[in-house]
A and B are shown apart, each in its own frame.
Chain A
Amino acid sequence: MSDRRDTTRGEPFVPDPNLARFTDEPSQELMTRDVVVTGGPWPEAEDGGETMIINMGPQHPSTHGVLRVMLELDAETIVRAKAVIGYLHTGMEKTGEELTYFQGSTNVTRMDYAAPLSNELAFSMATERLLDIDVPPRATWIRMYLMELNRMASHLLWQATNGLDMGALSMIVYGWREREATLRLLEKITGLRMNNNFVRPGGVVADLHDGWEQDTLELCDTVEKGASEYDELLTGNPIWQERTVGVGVITTEQALALGVSGPILRSTGFPWDLRKAQPYLAYDELDFDVIYTANGDSYDRYRIRLNEILESVKMVRQCVEKMPPGDYRVQDAKVTPPPRARIDESMEALIHHFKLFTEGFKVPPGETYVANESPRGEIGCYLVSDGTSKPSRLHIRGPSFYNLQSMSPMMEERLIADAVAVISTIDPIMGEVDR
């Protein structure tokens, strides 16, 4: 645990030196240590007739949407906890079978609504893999730049709501302030604050606007200043530590067995990040650290997310420096709609435009699974094509869906007051859980 550090308001936030981080290869010792996947059901609680079952949610404000948790209580202690989901199920995978690949990102972007661009990226990369097309370098870098902005916005939202859940009510104002600044920039780039529908098969919709570098650098300063304030407000705060240290502990073995990924897995001392381990886009050209901690509790998950904001700021700054020139989408008339001006003068452009927006483009039969690291963990898209312009099957592996399974081992044998901390630090987005 870190000691209270003297960061004064407005000073640049120095990343926590006590956090373990790796830059290049995961250390062999960590990656190959004895990882046992325990099979079998989780331990059954004894039924003495003294327990009571209480429903928390689906309308409870701290369940992050419409999550319902069934709690078996022995006085104030949780004996068993069970997540009941499906209240936000809107059949998005079924809808995805009715939409063309061209329209598909509109649908998937609404799954994880706190990090919409990650969904679009998963879908777009899967479609591109089925089409066997390569995206131009600038499109790749714009995507990567957007992913990190997206991660910042998502983690800032989490800082705000997590503070609110724990009783640090001012955090909702501070967190929202920086998140809105991030979303304003995303709105300037993509046209929408959320559900951007900006990353599409073949590249991105538009090029970055004039002066995006200046906007981005200003945002980076704002977010760094904000993160420094959160750090000052929370990290060394004894009340905050009392509320989070040792709460909702999960071990690496449990996390791996339950399919957990993202900050929760990293909080158990397991430095797994797809951006580093299986680099996609151009992440291998960026200099960044994977942050991980050893205790697996709520406090560690807070510290990881706070420091990941700073890593994202670092990456965004590098994107500003290294952004290559060129096309922002692939110049393949079968996939990319023609420029508006060409439609007036070229018959072929008009035909391509018409075909793309009515029928869409056809994708050869095949199946693929493509994953990337969303702010919550591994988001994957399993896509099956049957040779038509609509997917035969579109499945999104939502990280929250799997992470939510870690709720029970985190909550059990803990007090009911800790249930809120556990739900909050798992960071489930119900749109993605239920799809």
Chain B
Amino acid sequence: MADDDAREGNHKNGATRVEEEEKNAVPPPDDEVAAAVVERFPETVFHRSHGQPVVYVDRSVWADIAAFLRDEQEFTQCIDVTAVDHLVDAVRLEVPGVVPERFEIVANYLSHPRNRRLRAICEVPAADATVPSLTPLYPGANFAEREVFDMFGITFDGHPELTRILMPDDWEGFPLRKDDSPARVPVTFKEDPGPR
């Protein structure tokens, strides 16, 4: 009896472990482009976000994936490049297999011949906020990357002219960072002998 119980217990535990492993395993991409990206760049994580294919890519291959999409997958346009600051998120979307960092760079690609889209997201730590630039591959990313630099202070390696685009050239701070308060204006009082 005791042996039976023990065996049963073991069996149950084993079953649970397998189930857990199955649950944690990343499902194979059900999008052909994403599957090709994951096959070429094994560290990429696929995620389907409200029906849209998304790949979470490593920072070191950010531009390589763009080149792969452009040259081998007929992705004719980089529709948009933007960034997200997750500093003060109440609840953050958890994607299994992705180590979250403070910033995310988001690039939306569009393939006209194949009529499909793909979104690539790259985690960027605040301490070293640099990613390879997409502008040499998709010249249309020029303004967008300048805007991300202007708003978030994230720099792009290989960008031809990384300057502020929307804010004045002498602006201090990066307005869309969550810890930046653009409305703060240093006030000086005429009668005040010194700072209080």
What separation, in Å, do the CA atoms of A365 and B94 have in the docked complex? 9
Q: For the complex, give the distance between the alpha carbons of A401 and B139 in Å.
A: 13
**Is the beta-carbon distance between A380 and B108 smaller than 8 angstroms?**
yes
A93 touches B77 (CB 8 A): no
Known: A41-B139, A259-B79, A369-B80. 4 other contacts (CB 8 A): A39-B139, A89-B166, A259-B77, A366-B50
Partner of B84, one of A260, A277, A392, A435: A392
**Residues on B with beta carbons closer than 8 Å to the beta carbon of A89:** 166-167
Are A397 and B80 closer than 8 Å at their CB atoms? yes
Binds A, one of B5-13, B17-25, B111-119, B123-131: B111-119
Instruction: Tell whether B34 is near chain A: CB-to-CB under 8 Å.
Output: no
Please, what's the 1-or-0 string for B75-104, where 1 marks a CB less than 8 Å from any CB in chain A? 011111010111001111100000000000
A-B interface pairs (CB < 8 A), number: 129
Distance A368 CA – B102 CA, assembled complex (angstroms): 18
In the assembled complex, B49 has its CB within 8 A of some CB on chain A: yes
Which residue of A37, A86, A258, A260 contacts B165 across the interface (Cβ within 8 Å)? A86
Asked whether B112 lies within 8 Å of A256 as measured between CB atoms, the reply is yes
Known contacts A37-B138, A129-B50, A405-B139; is A434 also within 8 Å of B166 by CB? yes
Question: A41 to B160, Cβ gap below 8 A?
Answer: yes
Residues of A within 8 A of B119 (CB): 369
**Could you list some 24 contacts between A and B, CB below 8 A?**
A37-B70, A85-B166, A89-B166, A256-B77, A257-B139, A257-B140, A259-B138, A270-B112, A277-B112, A277-B115, A278-B115, A365-B91, A365-B93, A366-B50, A367-B54, A367-B84, A368-B49, A378-B79, A386-B90, A386-B92, A387-B91, A401-B144, A404-B143, A405-B139
In the complex, whether B42 has a CB less than 8 A from a CB of chain A is no
Interface of B is mostly: loop
Does A319 lie at the interface of the complex (its beta carbon under 8 Å from any beta carbon of B)? no
B25 to chain A, nearest CB (A): 22
Q: Please indicate the chain B residues that have their CB under 8 angstroms from the CB of A387 in the complex.
A: 90-91
Q: Are B112 and A272 in contact (CB under 8 A)?
A: yes
B52 at the A interface (CB under 8 A): yes
CB distance from B166 to the nearest CB of A (A): 4
Q: Is A132 interfacial (CB 8 A cutoff)?
A: yes
**Chain B residue with the shortest CB-CB distance to A33:** B113
Q: Complex: how many Å from CA A277 to CA B140? A: 21
Question: On chain B, which size bracket covers the interface?
Answer: 35 or more
Mark contacts of A145-174 with chain B using CB atoms, 8 A cut-off: 1 yes-contact digit, 0 otherwise.
Answer: 000000000000000000000000000000
In the complex, are the beta carbons of B79 and A405 less than 8 A apart? no
Q: Name the interface residues of A109-150: CB closer than 8 Å to any CB of B.
A: 129-130, 132
Residue pair A94, B176 in contact (C-beta under 8 Å): yes
Nearest CB in chain B: distance from A383 CB, A: 10
**Minimum Cβ distance to chain A for residue B67 (Å):** 9
Specify the chain B residue showing the minimal Cβ separation from A89.
B166
Residue A384 lies at the interface, judged by CB distance under 8 Å to chain B: yes
Q: What B residues does A258 contact at CB under 8 A?
A: 139-140
**A217 at interface by CB-CB < 8 Å:** no
A387 and B52 CA atoms in complex are apart in Å by 19
Q: How far is the CA of A351 from the CA of B112 in the complex (A)?
A: 48
Q: Determine whether A240 belongs to the interface, using a CB cutoff of 8 Å to chain B.
A: no
B contact residues vs A (CB 8 Å cutoff): 49-52, 54, 70, 74, 76-80, 82, 84-86, 89-93, 106, 108, 112-113, 115, 117, 119, 136-144, 147, 151, 160, 164-168, 175-176, 182
When A86-B165, A277-B115, A365-B91 are in contact, do A405 and B50 touch as well, CB less than 8 Å?
A: no
* Known contacts A85-B165, A405-B140, A434-B166; is-contact A35 B76 (Cβ 8 Å): yes
On whether the beta carbons of B182 and A91 are closer than 8 Å, the reply is yes
A404 to B82 Cα, complex, angstroms: 17
Minimum C-beta distance from B165 to chain A (A): 6
Q: Check A367–B113 contact: CB distance below 8 A.
A: no
Say whether A94 contacts B76, CB under 8 Å.
no
- In the assembled complex, the Cα of A393 lies from the Cα of B93 at a distance in Å of 13
B-contacting residues, A24-58, CB 8 Å: 31-32, 35, 37-42
**Residue from the list A94, A270, A397 in contact with B79, Cβ < 8 A:** A397
**Known contacts A89-B166, A384-B84: A31-B138 contact under CB 8 Å:** no
Closest 4 CB pairs between A and B? A259-B140, A387-B91, A386-B89, A86-B166
For B84, list chain A residues within 8 Å (CB).
Answer: 367, 384, 392-393
Contact call A402/B106, Cβ cutoff below 8 A: no
**Is the Cβ of B112 less than 8 Å from the Cβ of A35?**
yes
CA distance A305 to B138 in the complex (A): 27
- Whether A39 lies near B137 (C-beta < 8 A) is yes
